[in-house]
Structure formats: C-alpha cells, structure tokens
Amino acid sequence: MMTRVELYDTTLRDGAQTERISYSVQDKLRITQKLDELGVACVEGGWPGSNPKDAQFFQLARKLSLKTAVLAAFGSTRHAATAAKDANLNALLKAETSVITIFGKTWDLHVRDVLRVPLDENLRMIEDSVRYLKRRGRAVVYDAEHFFDGYRENATYALATLRAAQSAGADTIVFCDTNGGRLPAEISTIISAVRSHLQVPTGIHVHNDCGLAVANSIAAVQAGCRQVQGTINGYGERCGNADLTNLIPVLQLKLGLECLPPQKLKELTEASHFVAEVSNMGQTPNQPFVGATAFTHKGGVHVNAVMKNPRTYEHIDPNLVGNQRKILVSELSGRSALVVKARALNLALTKDTPEAKRLLSLLQDLEHQGFHFEAAEGSFELLLQRHLKHLKPFFDLESFRIVIEKRGGQMSSEASIKLRVNGVREHAAAEGDGPVNALDNAIRRALAQFYPTLARMHLTDFKVRVLDEKAGTAAKVRVLIESQDEQDSWGTIGVSENIIEASWQALVDSIEYKLLKDQGSTRHTAHSKQNKRQRR
C-alpha cells in the first residue's frame, strides 16, 4: 500500500498574494471546486479575519458539495489578552471550517522586533490559541513561521514554540521556510533532528526565493513530513510558493507516494491551465510536467529517437499527467519530424523519399528567410498539403489596393480586391481600423458568397516582429496571425520586407486553412478551444 502524503493547497491565500492576481469570490469558489475534483485533500480558503471578501467566501463555500477536499481557514495566534476575546480567532471559528490553520512566531528575532513581546508571552500566545480552537472542536494545523531561520539562530527557543503548539493539542505542525532561503540539505537535516521531539504529524511550507521550493519540499517529505503545502503553478508572494503541479508528479511517480487518486493524476495539466486562466496569468510554456512545451521535441536527433522509443528523451509518459507529446518542425528537426507531421495528416511520406528531402530543403530555406513554422502549424500543414497533394488554391488573386488617408486628424484605411473563384471574377472593397484589417474585411466580402463558413471565423491575434533591426524601416518582418472558429484555433505566418505582403501571406493561409479544414481534407492539429471549454 502506498504511503500517503496530504496535499494542502494554499492557492487562494498565498497564491492570491501574487502580483497581478486578484481573485473575486466567484473565482475562489471555482478554483475550490476544481481542486476538489482533482482530489486535493485540503484547500485553504483565505484569512476571514483580514478582509470581507474572504469572510464572504467561507459563507458561500458552505453550499459547495465537496467530495474530496476539506476547507481550512487561516489566521494568526491571538493578539488580545485572552484567546476568547481575540477577534481574529473568533472570525476563524465563524468561518465554520473543520480545519483551522494558525501561524505563530518561531524566530526570536520576530518575537522581539515584530511582536515586541517577551519570549515567554509568545509561547503563551501559541498555546492559548491552539487550545482555544481545539476546545471548540476544530482540527488545528500549526504553521511554525520562519522555523528554519529561527532554529539556526536559537534552536532551543524554536523547539519550545513547537512544544507549546503540541501540548495544546495541535493536530499537525508545519515547518515553514517563510523567507525561502534554505537549501535542501539544511531542510532535511533540521527536520530529521526535530521530528524526534514531536509526537504529532508534520508538514512543510516552503517559499521559492532561491528557486528551491519544490526541492526543499521533497527533502522534507523524505525526512518524514506527511503534509505538503503549496500552490497551483507556484503562485505566491515574491518568487512564489512550492508548485504543486511539479511536486505531485515527483512524489507520486518518482517516489511512489500517493498524493492524488491514481486516476486523477491525468487531470493535473488541465487543472493547472484552469487555475492559470481564472487567475488571468499566462501559462509558463516550459513548466515541468504541465507546460505546453514540457514534452516538445525540436532537434532532429531527439525527434528521430523519440519516434523509435519515447523513453529516449522523455522521463515519463506525458499522458500520465494529462499532457501530450509535441513534435516541432524547423530547420533543426530533420526528416523524422516531417514524416511524423505528414502521418498525422494521413499524407504518404517516408524518411528516405525524394519528397522528404525536397521538403526538408524547402523548410530550411524558408526558416532561413525568417519563417517560424513551430508557431504557425496552420501554414505548415498547408505547405505539406500543397507539396504532397498538389492542393488547388481556393481562389486566385488578381490584385488588391489599399488606400490610407488622414483627414481632420483621423486615419482611415480602405482596401479593394479583385480575385477569381473557379473562373468567376469578384471585386469587393471594405474599410477597416488599419490597412490589414481593411484587407481582411475586403477578402472576406469577396469570398462570402462562395464560402459562407468564413463568417464563422475570426482573427484573435496579430503579431509583427522585425527580423533585422539594423535595416531600419526596410527591415524584413514576420507576421503571425492566430485565427479561430467555433471549434479550433490555428496559427499562420508571412514574411516579407513589406508588412502588407507579409500580412497578406498570413491572411491567405488563415483563410485557406479554414476552408481546407471545413472540407475535411486535413487532419488538423490545431488546439480545440471548444473541447477545452467543455472539459472545464
């Protein structure tokens, strides 16, 4: 039977202290529900004594039908003369959670310089607070704030604070590296020495100021801690907290310790992305285990080896954590990547055929010109289709013209276009917020009667990058366009010294990819946003 490690998530409190994160009450309720679905044991909802939002959260959270997680309210040891008169402790009780977590001062520096009370009084504050909450039927987690710093400077006093919490009935004592400055060997040595003085379960709470929060948490578990505190995606003040999306797979897959129900581990990537989106934070692409590039292969040697045996360059199966392997195509990737991509599109291509050699040469030439197909898989799939299936264009351009005018301090753009569809000539004009937008509107208007499904497609992102800054205004530019319909999103690319020409290339590819996809002629690899929304 696997040894169990209790996951204690503090995304809603510590994570909320991240710069640029501000959770609404509804955000916190949604994240709580997601963590419960994932199988997290305990969710710290916030500090009800510190602000009205957290107090409201606990009031509304009582209506949640949680199946796995229990809620914890967070606060500090008493400040008043007695625990019964302390507003903070009574706010914790009012939250009506089965678990209450309180932190107390362990480092004598903080007792003297922050609390400014005698050392013995701090011990009484810890003992009174824990006992008061225990007598009212709560499970109490005691967070020993700044424990490792305190132990290094005054081990006798640091141990005395832990004994005070234990004697008062604390159910779990958590060692905190609040400043995030300790190293794994220190964590392991100190915990091993201290646990012999305690009879209650212990936990770990680590900050990431040295980039070692995950490593320090693992060291603590290996030293005997059985509760791990952290946040999804490592959110937290300053450099963040221990990232549970890293910790969970390491503990479960590498150390054989059960953190989540085995069938839930594959939901980890989706949960990570969900919390990132609710937090309005961009997902870190190279985040271990759950990042978009965690199992991405680009180098030709790597791709070739992975296709023969994934274990050659993957330490775990991506599916175990709900992620997936991704093969990039670039001038570095070689023929193996081309073959993989072609097979995904049901196109006949083998590594040693003349077509593969010609395609690789073309790809390398285009990348040398400035194309970047790993960011524009829509354009890459069209490139394969055109060269392996001789894809017939959906329309032929005769000409287009763009007029930009400034009148009365206002800029205006108008584009007119002439094209043919199956020999039928069409002429359309349209205005836009800028020249590219006007051109986009004009081409859509010209094609509307021939391809009505284009009305269900729109551009979601438009990026321009100068490739050679030294060339000044004559520099070559790369245009990347992201497009979307009801089901999918896809990227396309254009490169030219003329920004309008580069934009035209990317626009045409975005439209042709949509039309090809609608025909069912390509097994597209674009990410399905609709499916993602449904999973949420």
Q: What is the pLDDT of residues 480-516, one digit of tens each?
A: 888 888 777 888 999 998 999 999 999 999 999 898 8
How confident is residue 523, by pLDDT bands cut at 50, 70 and 90? very low
Share of the chain above pLDDT 70, in %: 87
Q: What is the pLDDT of residue 243?
A: 98
DSSP assignments along 116-170, one per residue = -S-HHHHHHHHHHHHHHHHTTT-EEEEEEETHHHHHHH-HHHHHHHHHHHHHTT-
pLDDT grade, residue 528 (50/70/90)? Answer: very low
Q: Which pLDDT tens digit goes with each residue over 291-307?
A: 888 888 777 677 678 77
Confidence at residue 524, expressed as pLDDT on a 0 to 100 scale: 41
The pLDDT, as a whole number, for residue 519 is 79
pLDDT at residue number 73: 97
Flag whether pLDDT at 331 surpasses 60: no
- CA dist list (Å): 205 to 361, 476, 534: 53, 50, 34
Confidence of residue 16 (pLDDT cuts 50, 70, 90): very high
Q: Which whole number is the average pLDDT over 349-363?
A: 69
What whole-number distance in Å separates Cα of residue 200 and Cα of residue 171?
Answer: 6
Ranking 21-35, 36-50, 332-346, 466-480 by mean pLDDT, the lowest is 332-346
Q: Which residue has the higher pLDDT, 112 or 339?
A: 112
Q: Tell me if 249 sits within 8 A of 29, measured CB to CB.
A: no
Cβ within 8 Å of residue 3, ≥6 positions away: 226, 256, 257, 258
Whole-number Å distance between alpha carbons of 96 and 12? 17
Which pLDDT score, from 0 to 100, does residue 536 have? 36
Cα→Cα distances 43→46, 72, 93, 121, Å? 9, 6, 16, 31
The pLDDT of 403-411, averaged and rounded, is 88
347 — pLDDT class (breaks 50, 70, 90): low
Q: Any residues with CB less than 8 A from the CB of 241 and at least 6 apart, and which?
A: 10, 14, 15, 205, 206, 207, 208, 213, 229, 230, 231, 234, 235
**pLDDT > 90? residue 316:** yes
How does residue 527 score in pLDDT terms, banded at 50, 70 and 90? very low
Mean pLDDT of the chain: 88
Question: Worst-scoring range by mean pLDDT, 227-231, 386-390, 427-431, 477-481?
Answer: 386-390
Higher per-residue pLDDT: 533 or 248: 248
Tokens standing for residue 98: 């089965």
Name the range with the highest mean pLDDT among 123-127, 279-283, 296-300, 406-410: 123-127
Which pLDDT does position 261 carry in this prediction? Answer: 92
Instruction: Give the pLDDT of residue 383.
Output: 78
**Which pLDDT score, from 0 to 100, does residue 378 have?**
80
Query: According to the model, what pLDDT value does residue 444 have?
Result: 92
Instruction: Report whether pLDDT(330) > 60.
Output: no
pLDDT for residue 186: 96
- Give the pLDDT confidence score for residue 191 in this predicted structure: 97
pLDDT of residue 526: 40
Residue 494's closest CA among 383, 404, 393, 419?
Answer: 383
Kindly tell me if the per-residue pLDDT of 76 is higher than 80: yes
Per-residue pLDDT band for 535 (boundaries 50, 70, 90) equals very low
- Min mean pLDDT across 124-138, 285-299, 425-439 is at 285-299
Cα–Cα distances (Å) from 89 to 92, 100, 103, 202, 332, in that order, read 5, 9, 11, 22, 60
Q: Which range in 170-174, 329-333, 457-461 is most confidently predicted, on average pLDDT?
A: 170-174
Structure token digits, residue 365: 């030439």
| 30-42 average pLDDT score | 96
Residue 471: predicted pLDDT: 59
| Residue among 217, 145, 148, 143 nearest 186 (CA) | 148
Q: Domains along the chain?
A: 6-278 (3.20.20.70), 296-360 (4.10.430.20), 370-394+451-536 (3.30.160.340), 398-446 (3.30.160)
SS3 452: helix
Average pLDDT on 262-280 reads 92
Query: What is the structure's pLDDT at 314?
Result: 87
pLDDT tens digits along 241-253: 999 999 999 999 9
* pLDDT, position 390: 65
The tens digit of pLDDT for each residue in 182-227 reads: 999 999 999 999 999 999 999 999 999 999 999 999 999 999 999 9
